[in-house]
Amino acid sequence: MRIEQLFEDLLLEDEWQIINNMPKLLAESINIKNSKIIKERPLYDVKEEIWNNDIPGVKDQTIVACYTKSGEYIGDEKTAKYICDKKGIIPEKRDASHCVCSIGFQPDEQKWYGWSHRAMFGFGIGYKVKKGDSMAKGQEFSRDSSAVDVGFEAKTLEDCKKLAYAFADSVS
């Protein structure tokens, strides 16, 4: 059984639970047996890794994954190319406890971006939170811990980072 098939089977059992906990499941159940850099890019490294999850009948999988220069997981090569090479974003994790980058700074635009596999958006100084924004308090997908008041205006880059964090949280 391949890892992809295992995840497919698990998704059929309890799709929402698995999707929400996928990074945690990966971090807890995947053992990276071998990892080597196969390409070096200015903002990230492309690594070929052999993953093993110690589940009987599941063979080791060779995976190509991208990491920041400090070792934080970005995603697959297509994702890293878009975020880093095309957009020029310097990715980082929202929180030290997370296992994937979901916010980043774009120095030329002076914007903080937030993203997930669902959406990406950049916040610059002057951005004002509107009713209907996914990270606005009271919206269906906003989380109380990071939601932002409607009318909040980004006046500093730190404010922009707060918005990127809340956005990434709301679309994850």
Which residues have CB under 8 Å from 143's CB, separation 6+?
169, 170
- pLDDT tens string 110-123: 999 999 988 999 99
pTM recorded for the entire structure: 0.78
Which residues have CB under 8 Å from 75's CB, separation 6+?
65, 66, 83, 100, 101
Residue 166 CA to residue 144 CA, distance in Å, equals 10
Enumerate the domain spans of the chain: 3-77, 102-171
Average pLDDT in the 68-79 region?
94
